Structure 1
Amino acid sequence: MAIDFDRKLRMAATALGCDSRKDLCARFRRVNPATACDVDRLNKWVQGRSVPRAASIYADFCAVIGSGKPGHWIAECSLEDFSAELAACTGIDATSLAAPDAMPSRGGAHGAGLLGGVGTLAGAFAAYSLAWSPHFRGRLIRGSLRLEARRNRALVATYAEALVGRTVRLSGEVQLDGRSMHVTVREPEGNMTLFFSLQVPGPPASVLSGIMSGVAFVAHESVPSACRIALVRVPETPRLDASNRYLEPLPGAIASDLSELGVSLTEADSFDAFSRTFLGESPLQVTTQQAAFASMLDRQYLDAAIPIRGQP
């Protein structure tokens, strides 16, 4: 009888540095080209929806982690015994082997190919973008972003803005794809969602830049929106969140804000001008009025779906 096999697989993936289920499956094929492990089966095992029936899978799993134990041992042992064996075979610290709740089907934020790993990206950033709300049109909004490297080598993003007298925080796990970073952040107890697609720089990762998209939060109607965003690394300080606010896009506004956050710029005026040019003058948005072209097509689709009585 297999005990906690799903958690053992996830622990092994962490210890071996597998970015995805596909990577872990490749490990099985490497030790046994004829293995009964494939991605579809592995998906079910990792999710705890089933366990392997073939005894050979457990023997292959022992070989994957480099253990000389028999297959039935790895199936029946406790998580504590498995963790100790895994640490002995891989050299990883046993305290870092808590099984993650899930394992991505594709690559995650493990920093493969990133000099310094995800720790290079961790830290606090002042976030500058265009305001989406029609009530604050033409202004900049200064938010904050924190990137936290977790023990399982995941990178978690928390984005914050000051909206309507309260601080809104949205979080999500970062996905790295080569030199690109993607993350969907959500409010834990609300419906707010944002998506970021950013370029990944090399060390010291002083600036992250890219696109932010979602729906305007402070608006009387749904307004899908997107804009450029610039994230500047700043010292960690409580003032970062406390000073989130709207800014007038005046010369010197961004440089002055960064100075108050402890960032001294040798070419403050040039950086400020470049930043405002980079952000642009208006976000890309779709209002309900602009979406009115749907009425040109609705009747055609309705007529096709609902035949009129009396017509042949």
Structure 2
Amino acid sequence: MAQHIAQKLRLTSALLGTVTRKDLAAAFRTVNPKTAFDLGRADKWLQGRAQPREHSVYDDWAKLLGLEQQGAWIADCDLSGFTAAIAARHNIDKAELERRVGAQFETSSGHDERSFAFTLAGTYACYSRAWSPYHRDQLIKGILSVEAGPGLHGLTATYRETLPTGQLVLGGPVTPAKRALYVHLKEAGGDAQFFISLFPQSQPGSVLGGYMCGTAIIGPEAQPSTTRILIVRLRDPAPGATSRGGYLQLDQSISGDLASLGMSIEHPEQIDRQLTRFLVGGSDGGVHQVPPAEFRAILDVFDRHWLTHSSAGQNP
């Protein structure tokens, strides 16, 4: 499935120096006069409301950028990998390329919010306390991808965890607010939902933190749960890193896991202690769940009261 198409097109436009959609379409025609890249559809692609369905568009795209990879790679790769590839191919610093995108997008849209949205887009490693009673005291890692879409704050997220039962994939809107950043995720083809409430993003947006709320996926009983969560931005993920996820072993450190994703951290032991303090902070040990028996005892009281008064009302 194609991903991050809007951001990849903006990166391409910034690299080529094309100012308008018309200029970008003209650039595609230089490599293929009959290209399926046209202005009407490009508007939706750049707004994140649709993506090219014709494989030929991606093939033309690869030729336009002079990449060794095939067009299918452009469709499937993560945003960091795409940025790194075109920056290396055209001998331009990644930070400079991203700066050009921000400047170009802000000028063309006239809104700081849209430029801000692009800075939030990317791939993140997420660490939180496991909710499953079978993995008590373990951390679980998920991969979060954020992509810009339509509207001033048009951001969408896809969150993935690799569980013993298979891949868990949820998606939904990201809503930046003045005092918080909210993510509401729903399972594709399922009924799982997570709600994430985070501290507002600060520049350069290297890490996000806050709480994730939902229900334990693997367990004998449904338990509404909440946990602290850390969301670390990945600049240059190792190949295949974004497909990894799941429960960390009890002796596995976050810094070591980040190293496997391509992020080398100085003073890893010190950082691990700091991250662990955050994730297990508070009297709840970093994760809070309502014991089903405790709630059922209260439910029994109020159900009996409700039924008793209902009967009384029907039989005065």
Report TM bin, short chain.
0.5 to 0.7
Cα offset, 1:179, TM superposition: 4.0
Decide whether aligned partners of structure 1 residues 152 and 206 sit closer, same or farther in structure 2, where only a CA change above 3 A counts: same
**Contact 2:161/2:245 (CA < 8 Å) preserved in 1?**
yes
Cα distance in 1, alignment partners of residues 171 and 44 from structure 2: 24
Cα offset, 1:185, TM superposition: 0.7
Decide whether aligned partners of structure 1 residues 200 and 114 sit closer, same or farther in structure 2, where only a CA change above 3 A counts: farther
SS in 2 for 1:307: helix
1:302 corresponding residue in structure 2 = 307
1:260 corresponding residue in structure 2 = 260
Decide whether aligned partners of structure 1 residues 249 and 282 sit closer, same or farther in structure 2, where only a CA change above 3 A counts: farther
- Alignment partner of 1:284 is 2:264: no
Cα offset, 1:114, TM superposition: 5.3
- Alignment partner of 1:174 is 2:174: yes
Cα distance in 2, alignment partners of residues 212 and 100 from structure 1: 26
Q: Deviations over 1:109-129 (max 9, x none)?
A: x9x765941011111111100
**Contact 2:238/2:260 (CA < 8 Å) preserved in 1?**
no
Cα distance in 1, alignment partners of residues 190 and 279 from structure 2: 28
**Contact 2:258/2:264 (CA < 8 Å) preserved in 1?**
yes
1:246 corresponding residue in structure 2 = 247
- Alignment partner of 1:96 is 2:43: yes
1:164 corresponding residue in structure 2 = 164
Cα offset, 1:239, TM superposition: 2.6
Q: Deviations over 1:35-54 (max 9, x none)?
A: xxxxxxxxxxxxxxxxxxxx
**Contact 1:249/1:276 (CA < 8 Å) preserved in 2?**
no
Paired amino acid for 1:286: V
Cα offset, 1:145, TM superposition: 0.6
**Contact 1:130/1:141 (CA < 8 Å) preserved in 2?**
yes
Q: Which residues in structure 2 correspond to 1:74-93 (within 5 Å)?
A: none
SS in 2 for 1:289: helix
Decide whether aligned partners of structure 1 residues 114 and 267 sit closer, same or farther in structure 2, where only a CA change above 3 A counts: farther
Cα offset, 1:206, TM superposition: 0.5
Decide whether aligned partners of structure 1 residues 155 and 115 sit closer, same or farther in structure 2, where only a CA change above 3 A counts: closer
- Which segments of 5 or more consecutive residues in structure 1 lack a partner in the other structure? 1-92, 102-109
**Contact 2:228/2:286 (CA < 8 Å) preserved in 1?**
no
SS in 2 for 1:218: coil
Q: Percent identity?
A: 33
Decide whether aligned partners of structure 1 residues 115 and 184 sit closer, same or farther in structure 2, where only a CA change above 3 A counts: closer
Q: Which has the larger radius of gyration?
A: 1
**Contact 1:96/1:151 (CA < 8 Å) preserved in 2?**
no
Cα distance in 2, alignment partners of residues 203 and 144 from structure 1: 21
Cα offset, 1:237, TM superposition: 4.8
Cα distance in 1, alignment partners of residues 159 and 44 from structure 2: 28
Root-mean-square deviation over aligned CA pairs: 2.8
2:105 corresponding residue in structure 1 = none
**Contact 1:133/1:219 (CA < 8 Å) preserved in 2?**
yes
Cα distance in 1, alignment partners of residues 115 and 136 from structure 2: 40
Cα offset, 1:152, TM superposition: 4.4
Cα distance in 2, alignment partners of residues 151 and 237 from structure 1: 30
Paired amino acid for 1:246: Y
2:127 corresponding residue in structure 1 = 128
Decide whether aligned partners of structure 1 residues 212 and 113 sit closer, same or farther in structure 2, where only a CA change above 3 A counts: farther
Q: Deviations over 1:179-200 (max 9, x none)?
A: 4111211111111111111112
- Which segments of 5 or more consecutive residues in structure 2 lack a partner in the other structure? 1-38, 50-108
Cα offset, 1:97, TM superposition: 6.2
Cα distance in 2, alignment partners of residues 192 and 254 from structure 1: 26
Cα offset, 1:264, TM superposition: 1.5
Q: Deviations over 1:225-244 (max 9, x none)?
A: 00000011113455334321
Decide whether aligned partners of structure 1 residues 126 and 212 sit closer, same or farther in structure 2, where only a CA change above 3 A counts: same
Decide whether aligned partners of structure 1 residues 113 and 297 sit closer, same or farther in structure 2, where only a CA change above 3 A counts: farther
Cα distance in 1, alignment partners of residues 266 and 127 from structure 2: 20
Paired amino acid for 1:126: A
Cα offset, 1:170, TM superposition: 0.3
Decide whether aligned partners of structure 1 residues 284 and 205 sit closer, same or farther in structure 2, where only a CA change above 3 A counts: same
Cα offset, 1:267, TM superposition: 2.7
Higher relative helix content: 2
Cα distance in 2, alignment partners of residues 114 and 139 from structure 1: 38
- Alignment partner of 1:224 is 2:224: yes
Cα distance in 1, alignment partners of residues 160 and 44 from structure 2: 31
Cα offset, 1:219, TM superposition: 1.0
